Structure 1
Amino acid sequence: MMQTGSCSFGLWKVIVSWEGNVVYQVQFVRTAPEGPVPVQFTKFLAGRVDSFDPLVSAAVSGDNAYSRVYAAVSKIPYGETRTYREVALVADTHPRVVGNAMARNPTSLIVPCHRVTASDGTLGGFTPDLQIKRDLLKMEGKKKRG
Structure 2
Amino acid sequence: MQTGSCKFGLWKVIVSWEGNTVHQVQFVRTAPAGAVPVPFTKFLAGKTDSFSPLVSSAVSGDSAYARIYRAVAEIPYGETRTYREIALAADTHPRVVGNAMAKNPTALIVPCHRVVAADGTLGGFTPDLQIKKDLLKLEAANKREKN
- TM-score, L = length of structure 1: 0.96
Give the equivalent residue in structure 2 for 1:39.
Answer: 38
Unaligned runs of 5+ in 1: none
Corresponding residue for residue 63 of structure 1: 62
- Aligned partner of 1:26 in structure 2 is 25
Q: CA deviation at 1:19?
A: 0.2
- 1:81-116 alpha-carbon deviations (Å, 9 max, x no partner): 000000000000000000000000000000000000
Map of 1:126 onto structure 2: 125
* Counterpart-to-counterpart distance in 1, 2:3 and 2:74: 25
**Partner Cα distance (1:57, 1:33) in 2:** 22
The alignment partner of 1:7 has SS state of strand
Aligned length: 141
Quick one: distance in 2 between partners of 1:27 and 1:123?
A: 19
Distance 1:5 1:126 in 2: 22
Matched with 2:9 is: 10
Amino acid at match of 1:94: H
Shift of 1:38: 0.1
For 1:50, the aligned partner's letter is D
Q: Percent identity?
A: 82
Q: Distance in 2 between matches of 1:141 and 1:21?
A: 27
TM-score w.r.t. length of structure 2: 0.95
Displacement after TM superposition at 1:50 (Å):
0.1
Deviation at 1:20, TM superposition (A): 0.3
Query: Structure 2, unaligned stretches of length 5 or more?
Result: 142-147
RMSD: 0.6
Q: Partner of 1:90 in structure 2?
A: 89
**Could you tell me which amino acid in structure 2 is paired with residue 83 of structure 1?**
T
Partner Cα separation in structure 2 for residue 42 and residue 135 of structure 1: 15
Once residues 40 and 20 of structure 1 are traced to their aligned partners in structure 2, the CA distance between those partners, rounded to angstroms, is: 13
Amino acid at match of 2:77: Y
CA distance in 2, matches of 1:119, 1:104: 20
